[in-house]
Amino acid sequence: MTIDIDHIRADFPILADTINGKPLVYLDSANSSHKPQSVIDAMSTFMAHQYSPTNRSAYFLAAQATEMYEGARTKVAKFINARHAHEVVFTKNATESLNLVARAWGAANLSTGDAIVLTHMEHHANIVPWQMLAAEKGFTIRWVPLTADGLLDLSHIDQLLDGAKAFSFTSMSNVLGTINPVKELVSLAHRHGAIAIVDGCQSVPHMPTDVQDWDADFLAFSSHKMLGPTGIGMLWGKESLLDAMPPFLGGGNMIADVTLNGFTCAELPAKFEAGTQPIVEAVGLSAAVDYLNAIGMHNVRQHEMEISRYALDTLTQRFGEDIVIHGSKNVEVRGATFSFAFRDVHPHDISQVLDQHNVCVRAGHHCAKPLMRLLGAHATARASFYLYNTTDEVDALCDALTETGEFFTL
């Protein structure tokens, strides 16, 4: 093991809990992750002893809360290697971040006759905002297809990007686990004069991120998938783009001045942060980033590659033809997220039997219906692993699947 797994597990109170006398086998971190004690403590200490609104007042508590809120921004900026802290905008979640890009950048830059490029493996959060805007503006959406083993099929990418204004893609599929070659995709987009928008929800929590190395234009991600609380998400954008964009939501905090005739916008990042912000959540997120940094994102990735190797080997050895694991079998190009079909048992029924053993997996379409149609499945079961998961938990999944098979012999 590259990381001290027992030590890590001890930091997550919920992992020591039992349900009906059995331990929790939590394999749904691609959906949302659990929180270490340090995050929980940071938030409760803040609420108990440090709480105050930010930015608006001179008193000590307000100044301290503002410093903590801005400190979270600085930490997040370093975590993804952003050039400036003010390039990081706090939102409600990644979905809101992507809506922000579509509504602010998209509305100002896209019109009839234009095209943008998405991929066949996008989450609804990176599809629907563009479709909503396309219905108003009349631009077209082109789709990058997939290869048989669930990678992006780049054989016609130059045609697809020709004349396109934006290429928005996920850095890692939440269904297939595929890790996309972000740097290469950004450079392809730029070669065609398109901006590159990265949905980083699934990769940022699991491996190192360097937006400057990528040379990306926007990156959207969520706190709750990276050990932080719900209720806060991030949009990073290049300063020049954020500066040139109109605001997204209007209200307090985002203005420089308001008169009866109109308003002027505040500087970055306040320009995109209308209203009272998720201050408590930012404090929790800040502790989550500290936690991840202390372990090291290379180590997190290393650990998850080991789990992936073990999971692929064990599942295929034990179930052979009875299991179909979607996506690539090469752990170099995939994360530890596995969607699978098991015999003819419906994913809902799989997850029900697994639940009897406290094995938590997600069953459904994973908010990626276009991809599900491509896989020819209405639903899949998905087991996803994180830094606190163990190979023993892969075995627990397998044992529970064996029982599922016995129960549903058709």
Partner 1 sequence: MPGLEDLYREIILDHYKSPRNRGTLEPPAIRTEGHNPLCGDEIEVYIAVDNDIVSDIKISGQGCSISQSSASMMSAAIKGKPVAEVRALIHRFKHMMSIEDVEEPDTSAPLGDLEALQGVVKFPVRIKCAVLAWNTLAEGLDTAAQ
Ligand X SMILES: Cc1ncc(COP(=O)(O)O)c(C=O)c1O
Active site residues: 367
346: partner contacted, choices partner 1, ligand X, none (Cβ within 5-8 A by kind) = partner 1
Q: Is 378 in the site for partner 1 (CB under 8 A)?
A: yes
When CB distances are held under 5 to 8 angstroms depending on the partner's kind, the choice from partner 1, ligand X, none that residue 222 binds is ligand X
Q: Show the site string, 220-259: x = touches ligand X by CB under 6 A, - = not.
A: --x----------x--------------------------
Residue 215's φ and ψ, nearest 5 degrees, are: 65, 30
379 lies in the binding site for partner 1 (CB under 8 A): yes
Binding mask 277-316 for ligand X (x = CB under 6 A): ----------------------------------------
Phi/psi of residue 211, each to 5°? -65, -25
**Least distance to partner 1 from the beta carbon of 409, Å?**
9
Tokens 């950004």 belong to residue: 186
Give the C-alpha distances (Å, rounded to integers) separating 383 from 315, 335, 380.
12, 11, 10
Residue 2 CB burial class (10 angstroms; 0-12, 13-18, ≥19) = middle
Minimum Å gap between C-beta 17 and partner 1 is 15
Q: Say which DSSP state 267 is in.
A: P
* DSSP label of 106: I
DSSP 8-state assignment for residue 327: S
Q: DSSP assignment, residue 126?
A: G
99 scored as a contact of ligand X (CB under 6 A): no
Q: Which stretch binds ligand X (CB under 6 A): 119-127, 131-139, 154-162, 374-382?
A: 119-127
Separation of alpha carbons 354 and 351, rounded Å: 5
From the list 39, 86, 129, 199, which residue makes contact with ligand X (rule: CB under 6 A)?
199
**If you ran DSSP here, which 8-state letter would residue 104 be given?**
I
Q: For residue 89, how many C-alpha atoms fall within 13 Å in the half-sphere facing its CB?
A: 34
Which one among 8, 25, 68, 94 touches ligand X, defined by CB under 6 A? 94
d(CA 251, CA 261): 15
What track of x and - describes contact with partner 1 for positions 4 through 43 (by CB under 8 A)? Answer: ---------------xx-----------------------
Residue 363 makes contact with partner 1 by CB under 8 A = yes
Among 34, 73, 86, 123, indicate the residue that binds ligand X (CB under 6 A). Answer: 123
Q: Which one of the spans 149-157, 195-203, 270-278, 374-382 is the region binding ligand X (CB under 6 A)? A: 195-203
348 binds, among ligand X, partner 1, none (CB under 5 to 8 A by kind): partner 1
The entry of ligand X, partner 1, none that residue 174 binds, CB within 5 to 8 Å by partner kind:
ligand X
Number of residues that bind partner 1 (CB under 8 A): 19
**The tokens of 103 are what?**
């509504």
Out of 68, 372, 394, 401, the only residue in the binding site for partner 1 (CB under 8 A) is 372
Show contacts with ligand X in window 131-190 (CB under 6 A): 170, 174
Report d(CA 106, CA 115) in Å as an integer.
Answer: 11
Measured between alpha carbons, how far is 186 from 180 in angstroms, rounded to an integer?
11
The token duo for 144 is 């990058």
The stretch near ligand X (CB under 6 A) out of 88-96, 181-189, 209-217, 247-255 is 88-96
DSSP letters, 177-200, are: -BBP-HHHHHHHHHHTT-EEEEE-
**What count of other Cβ atoms lies within 10 Å of the Cβ of residue 253?**
17
As to burial, measured by CB atoms within 10 angstroms (0-12 exposed, 13-18 middle, 19+ buried), residue 399 is middle
Determine if 125 is a binding residue for ligand X (CB under 6 A): yes
Q: If binding is defined by CB under 8 A, does position 396 make contact with partner 1?
A: no
| Residues in touch with partner 1 (CB under 8 A) | 19-20, 346-349, 352-353, 356, 363-365, 369, 372, 378-379, 407-408, 410
